[in-house]
Amino acid sequence: MKKNDCNRKAEEHALYLMGWAALLLLALAALGIRVWTEVWGKALPPCMLQKLTGLYCPGCGGTRAIITLLQGRPIISFLYHPLVLYTAVIGGWFMLSHTIEKLSKGRLPIGMSYRDVWMWGALCLVGVNFAVKNILLFMGIDVLGML
């Protein structure tokens, strides 16, 4: 194996482990949200940036997007925040393909390779989402309030 191949494999293995850690954190966050709403009977606290400025932050809608995606409503999830569905699809395939490769002990080398373009795509989605929602807000259309 070449040095670059070893580095790439090490990076992908680290991303794979971080993926499992992220899934664990997501499960804990879902449990925390459920406990919060059942014990205190309140919705989650509002976004502080939106409360102070009246504008949506780049992450506004993310929690609602995760909840609606877990409820099986991907289109509504995408409208709340497109990064959630994008991450579920790209990250899900990355995790699934690497799990299959690891379980087959390399006999099925289908592990998705990491490419910077996936990260740039995510960054563009966040930027476009932020811009569109705030432009619509200036026009009097509250997208997150409508859904």
57-66 residue pLDDT tens: 999 999 889 8
Residue type, 95: M
Residue 17 class from Cβ within 10 Å (0-12 exposed, 13-18 middle, 19+ buried)? Answer: exposed
- Measured at the CA of 121, the angle between CA 116 and CA 123, to 5 degrees, comes to 100
Query: What are the sequence ranges of the domains in the chain?
Result: 43-146
Q: What is the pLDDT of residues 92-142, one digit of tens each?
A: 999 999 999 999 988 998 988 889 999 999 999 999 999 999 999 999 999
CB pairs under 8 A, 24+ apart, for 65-70? 66/26, 66/30, 67/33, 70/30
Do the beta carbons of residue 114 and residue 16 sit within 8 Å? no
Q: Quote the CA–CA distance of 5 and 43 in Å, as a whole number.
A: 47
